[in-house]
Chain A
Amino acid sequence: MPSTIVTIELNGTDRELIARPSTTLLSALRETFGLMGAKRGCAQGGCGSCTVLLDGRPVVSCLIPVVTVDGSAVETIEGLADGERLDDVQQAFVDHFATQCGFCTPGMIMSATALLNRKPDPTRQDVTEAICGNVCRCTGYEPIITAVLAAAERRRGDPAVPTPTVPTPTVPTPTVPARPAPTEAEV
């Protein structure tokens, strides 16, 4: 089958590419347009790390032949920030330590963004359902859920945005030895 010219509105700008029938949207984003935010994890639609918004809906871009989305609007993680200023969901992920290795983060944020665009006042269950197709191996999900709920509040302009909690030790802390003696062993 021949290659065809495909036009997509990528983060607000019309872009063209010549695509073979087998070229996925993810490959187009990463290899043609150099947008490396969407990650190639499982490449079979199971991990969600390649999630982008297609006409506002979250999709796994690794399963979508790019020739089938000619004329569509595609939004990626790179389209969220305004210059150096992170958008509300990104900032909430930073504030609430919702990222560790970072591989799932772009997909998580795009899934969360789709949820908040659709439903500005989500419940905890709405959030867990929205991100249930995104696998995270590090955080245990709780900080991500907290971040998405906080982002929703921030977007709504609620004054009572929860601040990140840092645990305080419950036992008095002994003073640190003046300088560690690196060879001294302690068991």
Chain B
Amino acid sequence: MALRHGRGYAAVNYPTGMNLGGDPSQALVHATTMGGFVVTLSSVDLGQGLRTVVAQCAAETLGIPLENVIVDTADTDTGPHCMGTFASRGTHRVGNAVIVAAREARDVMLQVAADELEVDAEDLETDGTGFVRLKGSSEKKIHISEVALAAHFRQGRTISGRGIFLKEPSTPVPETGEMDPDSCQAHACTVAEVAVDDETGVVEVLRLYNAYEIGRALNPALATQQVEGGAWMGLSHALFESTEPYYPHSREHGPVDFTEYLMPGPADIPAQTSVFLERPAGNGPFGAKGIGEMTANAPIPAIANAVYDAVGVRLTSMPFTPEKVLRGLDELRAGRAG
């Protein structure tokens, strides 16, 4: 009886967005009187960091500091329409819509600034610190807060923009099933290292190595969080989570409520290493693809393969409980004895 080590890997391709009857999201951008730029959305941030990422998209497109962007996702009844944050679509769909809206708002902003500075709008640029300035000049410039005030109180204009991204519906070809279901695909591979106790059947995941090709990582720290938090969920599905009883023909051993619903705690987590390969997608916002849901996927088969590598037991249903490992070991031993 011993602790046996194994290593396994698995790869995943994952679509960004979905098709159904078309997949749109809208965004509106407008300037306040103080030079804040409000991005109004119905898209909900579930904790994945959507507000941060769309603020980055708006700031980059408008050419203003991130601090001047206010993201308002307050009300799905009254905000511009969004299909929702699911199907790993948020960054891609909403980011694209925000870029379109911010470009329109930027054009108005530059036009207002041009009238204030008495120059052509084509000769203006933004410096990213809050100023609109004449190209090549450090003297001739105006701050966006002054631009916003001038628009409201002198020129009688709204600095605003409308944006929508629509993935058009794609009907399958009846004969072949051929269709265009998504906008791009992200790719990933996870390597898992496990230790399996062949006496108790307990599987421990020691290390996870994650490599993700996600277009461009708009916010590498948030992307890492998504990958490693998602890997934790994969680990949790692989080893713990089930609403079914672990033992056949009995409900006694299954979870009856959320205090007995097993998930790995802070002492059960593996060391993780994650890297990104950036191959910007042609249709993504600044090249980004979606990496929402896929992050829980690769760790599960990687762990199953690592268990196989460690003890030769091929597990095909989750979770990989000690009982399933021990039954598999019994079968192997019976096979050898026979």
Contact = CB atoms under 8 A, between A and B. Distances in A.
Interface of A: 42, 44-47, 97, 99-102, 125, 127-129, 131-132, 135, 137-145, 164, 166-171, 173-174, 176-177, 180-187
A183 B168 contact: yes
A143 B229 CA distance: 9
A138 B295 CA distance: 12
Contact of B279 (A129, A174, A184): A174
A102 to B, nearest CB: 6
A97 B278 contact: no
A169 B223 CA distance: 12
Given A42-B258, A140-B232, A145 B266 contact: yes
Given A140-B272, A169-B275, 20 more contacts: A97-B221, A102-B47, A132-B265, A132-B267, A140-B229, A140-B231, A140-B269, A142-B272, A164-B221, A167-B224, A168-B220, A171-B277, A176-B280, A177-B280, A181-B283, A182-B165, A184-B282, A185-B283, A186-B281, A186-B283
B221 A166 contact: yes
21 contacts: A99-B47, A100-B229, A102-B47, A135-B265, A139-B225, A139-B228, A142-B269, A169-B276, A169-B278, A171-B277, A171-B278, A174-B280, A176-B280, A176-B287, A177-B280, A180-B99, A180-B283, A180-B286, A185-B184, A185-B283, A187-B184
A118 B278 CA distance: 45
Contacts of A102: 47
Nearest to B97: A182
B211 to A, nearest CB: 9
Contacts of A171: 277-278
A155 B152 CA distance: 48
7 smallest CB-CB distances across A and B, nearest first, come from A101-B47, A140-B232, A46-B259, A100-B47, A141-B266, A128-B266, A128-B267
B257 interface: yes
A99 B48 CA distance: 10
B91 interface: no
Contacts of B221: 97, 164, 166-167
Contacts of A131: 266
A13 B49 CA distance: 36
Interface residues of B, number: 49
A176 B266 CA distance: 39
Nearest to B273: A167
B148 interface: no
B182 interface: yes
Majority-rule SS of A interface residues:
loop
B297 to A, nearest CB: 15
Contacts of B165: 182
Given A167-B274, A170-B275, A174-B280, A180 B285 contact: yes
B54 interface: no
B284 interface: yes
Contacts of B280: 173-174, 176-177
A122 B276 CA distance: 33
Contacts of A142: 228, 269, 272
A37 B257 CA distance: 24
Nearest to A47: B258
Most buried by A among B165, B182, B224, B283: B283
A182 to B, nearest CB: 5
Nearest to A125: B267
Contacts of A187: 182, 184-185
A131 to B, nearest CB: 5
A162 B293 CA distance: 30
B274 A182 contact: no
A170 B274 CA distance: 11
Given A42-B258, A169-B275, A141 B217 contact: no
Contacts of B99: 180
B180 interface: yes
B258 to A, nearest CB: 5
